[in-house]
Amino acid sequence: MLYGADGNKRSMLLGARIPDTVQLTSDLASARALFDRRPPRVRRHRDLPMHSAAAGAARRFVRESCEIWAVAPAIREVAELLSSELVSNAVEHAHSSSRITVTGTGSALRVSVRDYSRTPIPRPRPIDIGAFRGRGLHLVAGLSQSWGVHQHSDGKTIWINLQLDAPE
């Protein structure tokens, strides 16, 4: 939470979309009044190396984020599994370090993994039933409510959404 920014600083913070994840108030009293209220969107990220241990680090990071935000264990476990898959793909297929970002809102948890490689956008392929591998994106598609890819000039971000609230 930030408080006390004058007009110029407040405009810069608004332009940088800081209030999307950090609450801004005019004074300390207002900040204290909002202190126990969770912002509408929370976000954390961690940079991971191109290393076989990156997937385990991603799982721990997602677990820690979900515990801080009181995400239900069943959702947390799916988020851990899928984050591990996405980071493993960045290491194995993109041959890249990655940045994992976990974003929580009142209704959804998003896990995004950005790599820094111009490898083609991944797509699920038919499964060879005898193969030991090749099911990762099928897991992503089957366990997430939605998923997608954003292409960048120097890589891509693969994201998944998991629903937090009960469907109506």
- Domain-by-domain residue ranges, the chain? 2-34, 42-163
CA distance 92 to 61: 20
Per-residue pLDDT for 166 more than 70?
no
Q: Among candidates 13, 117, 102, which has minimal Cα distance to 59?
A: 102
Burial 105-140 (b: 16+ CB within 10 A, else e): eeebbbbbbbbbbeeeebeeeeeeeeeeeeebbeeb
Q: Are 150 and 159 in contact (CB under 8 A)?
A: yes
The tens digit of pLDDT for each residue in 3-47 reads 888 889 989 998 988 887 778 888 888 888 877 777 777 899 999
Q: Give SS3 for 50.
A: coil
Element (H, E) at 151: strand 146-152
May I ask the CATH architecture of the domain 42-163? 2-Layer Sandwich (3.30)
pTM attached to this predicted model: 0.77
